[in-house]
Amino acid sequence: MRIVVIGATGHIGTFLVPRLVRAGHDVVAVSRGTSTPYADAPEWERIERVTADREQEDRDGTFGDRIAALAADAVVDLVCFTLESAEQLVRALRGSGTHLVHCGSIWRAGVSHVLPITEETATPPFGEYGTQKDAIARMLKQEIAGGGVVTTSIHPGHISGPGWLPIGPLGNLDPTVVTRLSAGEVVEVPGLGAESMAHVHADDVAQLFQLAVEQRDAAAGEDFFATAPTALTVRGYAALVASWSGREARLESVSWDRFRETTATEHADASWEHLSRSQVFSTEKPQRLLGYAPAYTASETVRDALRWQAEHGDLAVDASFRP
């Protein structure tokens, strides 16, 4: 197939593009041209590249038509964040026969009520990001139900992998949390530490996108959560990180008010966004319909990401730290 990947050099595209090329597909990689993939692979020499500034072209009303002109069997949209942007692309693809596979987010689901969360039991989203992702997914379902573009939406968890810092044990991107755990220092934890996070390896997300593209009939009109088959709690994640230095995690439970007083606003806000949701997702639906088989547990996912950080000197950790 001829497959267009929008946002091809990001977290998912880094793994998806080589996967598609190895499977024999003709791949067109669309990006702003300002970054390179997180991991190099020879398959990148065998693709067609298109440079596009989506934000500007969306404002100009030209982006959708530009993508439609590429005449793809499938378009994988990894960088769409607003309903207006999604609707523009859908309008341009009507009548083309193209399968549109959209990247959403697990944050289209709100706080957890029943675990694991399924595509049918998710609570309503909150916050602009999650609300927009949910609105897009619902619009895509209505589109195919009305006889329009064939659509699928995939909603990844906290994407992790070699090349970037994963969401950490406290639900934020503060690298000093890992530093302190590796050194055996006390780390203050907001709440009980039983809150959970839904990590997923970028290559497993790429796997699900590939399956959706290659099994169009099974994926048509569906939405799927893409996470690891397991999830980590705060205290479990902290214990894992500390164990890589041969230590036990020293955690002190504190109130959210106390945590906000001692934590940079950026990190405290991120912790609240992740931990207040406390999400664990079922992977039964993509397994049953598409054969999704994630290769990484949540523990293996964060280990792979933090190992890369340590090996490349991007983490200040104890000398004994061995993920």
Q: Does 290 reside within a domain?
A: no
Mean pLDDT computed over 120-127: 95
- How sure is the predictor about 34, in pLDDT bands with cuts at 50, 70 and 90? confident
Q: Does 203 reside within a domain?
A: yes
Q: Does 323 reside within a domain?
A: no
Same domain for 78 and 18 = yes
pLDDT of the residue at 33: 84
Same domain for 253 and 180 = yes
Q: Does 318 reside within a domain?
A: no
Number of domains in the chain: 2
Query: Which residue type occupies 235?
Result: R
Same domain for 131 and 150 = yes
Same domain for 167 and 139 = no
Q: In this predicted model, what pLDDT tens digit does every residue of 194-214 receive, in sequence order? A: 999 999 999 999 999 999 999
Same domain for 95 and 72 = yes
Q: Is the pLDDT of residue 242 over 90?
A: yes
pTM to 2 decimals? 0.97
Domain range for 178: 162-198+230-279+295-311
Mean pLDDT computed over 124-136: 97
Distance, CA of 232 to CA of 208 (rounded, Å): 21
Same domain for 208 and 255 = no
Same domain for 112 and 242 = no
Q: Give 232-257 as a 3 state SS string.
A: EEHHHHHHHHHHCCCCCCEEEEECHH
How high is the mean pLDDT of the chain? 97
pLDDT of the residue at 51: 96
What percent of the chain has pLDDT above 90? 97
Q: Is the pLDDT of residue 137 over 90?
A: yes
Q: In this predicted model, what pLDDT tens digit does every residue of 277-295 receive, in sequence order? A: 999 999 999 999 999 999 9
CATH number at residue 113: 3.40.50.720
Q: Is the pLDDT of residue 105 over 90?
A: yes
- How sure is the predictor about 318, in pLDDT bands with cuts at 50, 70 and 90? confident
Q: Does 245 reside within a domain?
A: yes
pLDDT of the residue at 101: 98
What percent of the chain has pLDDT above 70? 100
CATH number at residue 185: 3.90.25
Mean pLDDT computed over 86-109: 98
CA distances from 11 to 18, 168, 202, 246 (A): 13, 17, 6, 31
Same domain for 205 and 60 = yes
Distance, CA of 151 to CA of 221 (rounded, Å): 5
The conformation of residue 111, written as its DSSP 8-state character, comes to S
Q: Does 284 reside within a domain?
A: no
pLDDT of the residue at 150: 98
Residue 167 φ then ψ, to 5°: -55, 130
Same domain for 238 and 94 = no
Same domain for 258 and 148 = no
Q: Is the pLDDT of residue 35 over 90?
A: no
pLDDT of the residue at 319: 87
Distance, CA of 88 to CA of 151 (rounded, Å): 14
Same domain for 122 and 25 = yes
pLDDT of the residue at 100: 98
Q: Is the pLDDT of residue 222 over 90?
A: yes
Q: Does 322 reside within a domain?
A: no
Task: Record the tokens describing residue 54, joined without a space.
Answer: 């989506």
pLDDT of the residue at 128: 96
Same domain for 129 and 42 = yes
Q: Does 193 reside within a domain?
A: yes
